[in-house]
A = this chain, B = another copy of it.
Amino acid sequence: MNIIVSTSSKEPIYEQIKLQVQRSILSGELHEGDPLPSIRALAKDLRVSVITTKKAYEKLEREKLITSHVGKGSFVAEHSDKLLAEKRRHLIERQLYDVIRESRKLGINESELQEIFKILCQEVTE
C-alpha cells in the first residue's frame, strides 16, 4: 500500500490518508487481519504529525474498516466479501447520483450526459 499526501491540498491530510487506506481495503488489496503501518511509522514516513495519522485511523476504526489494539497495532477488520462489495457500490452510487442530479439542475439532457459518460469511460480505461 502506497500512501501519498499533499499538504497543499484543500483536503485535510488525515482525510487523504483515510481515503487511501479505505480504498486499499475496499478494493481487496488489503485483506482481513493484515497489519497496517503503526501510526508512528506512518507519520514518520509521510512526514506528518502522529496526531494526523491517528485521526485517520480513528475514522477508519469508527467505520469498522480497521481495528486498533494498544500494544499490538492496527489491523484490517473482519468483513465479508459481500459487505465490502456493498460498501464499494454504495460509495460510488452516492457520488454518481450527485453528479447526475447536478447535471439535471444545469439543464443537461439525458442523452448528452450519457454521451459524456461514454467518452469519459473510454478515456479512463485507456
A contact residues vs B (CB 8 Å cutoff): 7-8, 12, 23, 26-28, 62, 67, 69-70, 72, 88-89, 91-93, 95-108, 110, 112-114, 116-117, 120-121, 123-125
Protomer copies: 4
Known: A96-B120, A121-B100. A7 touches B89 (CB 8 A): no
CA distance in complex: A72, B72 (Å): 32
CA distance in complex: A120, B97 (Å): 6
Distance between A84 CB and nearest chain B CB, rounded to angstroms: 10
CA distance in complex: A67, B6 (Å): 13
CA distance in complex: A89, B125 (Å): 21
Q: Which 8 A-B pairs have the closest CB atoms?
A: A27-B107, A95-B99, A92-B103, A88-B106, A100-B124, A96-B99, A26-B106, A27-B106
